[in-house]
Structure 1
Amino acid sequence: MQDCLFCRMHRGEVPVTKIAENAHAFAIRDINPRAPVHCLIIPKVHIDNAREVEWSHAETLAGMFMLSKDVARVEGAWEPGYRLAFNVGDAAGMTIHHLHMHLLAGRRLGPEG
């Protein structure tokens, strides 16, 4: 998608501070954090949301999870623990329609965040 915000970030058209990156994904801090640590792990290929995931995306998804481990270490969340979550669709709070994983930490998280 040409006008997707996350695709534009990946292409360098929208400046963003990446806190970590690998061949499949990059990570940024959420601009509206829900926890002291709230980062987004974003695949470099456009996938609209988790409903659109196919077997052909397996390497991309693995890359996202591997990057989340790096982000947890960088953000000091590795040892105390962290949550990984995907929002799927508007009713779940998805505001940018490009698959992304939230990493939340920095406080005790309740059952719903």
Structure 2
Amino acid sequence: MHPAAPVHLLIVPKKHIRSINDLQKEDEVIISALFMAGKNMAKKQGVNKSGYKLLFNVEKGGGQVIFHLHLHLIGGWDKIGRTDFLY
């Protein structure tokens, strides 16, 4: 893995879902849980106040290289004194 920021975590559901494009109506609870986990992990990592991104890469053209749905939590730029990252 190549971290995009000082804090770069992956939040991965147990159920195999290939990508966002493969979500079904019944997966809404999983997506909600991923976002809540992202919010909670941001707080644990100490980036909830300074700012962070929650990001899905979808399909090869969107940067997806692992074909099991996962949410990136990216932040912590203030920890290295930079806030100009465009990722």
Relative to the length of structure 2, the TM-score reads: 0.87
What RMSD, in angstroms, separates the aligned Cα atoms of the two structures? 1.2
| Equivalent of residue 50 in structure 2, options 80, 99, 105 | 80
**Per residue, is there more strand in 1 or in 2?**
1
- Which blocks of at least 5 consecutive residues in structure 2 are unaligned? 78-82
Count of equivalent residues: 82
Identity %: 37
CA distance in 2 between partners of 1:40 and 1:83 (Å): 12
Change (3 A) 1:64 1:42: same
Runs (4+) off by over 2 Å: none
Specify which of 53, 62, 72 is matched with residue 92 of structure 1: 62
TM-score (normalised: structure 1) = 0.68
Bigger helix fraction = 2
Larger relative CO (CA 8 A, sep 6+): 1 or 2?
A: 2
Of the candidates 59, 66, 75, which is equivalent to residue 105 of structure 1?
Answer: 75
Which sections of structure 1, spanning at least 5 residues, go unmatched?
1-30
Aligned match for 1:49, one of 19, 32, 47:
19
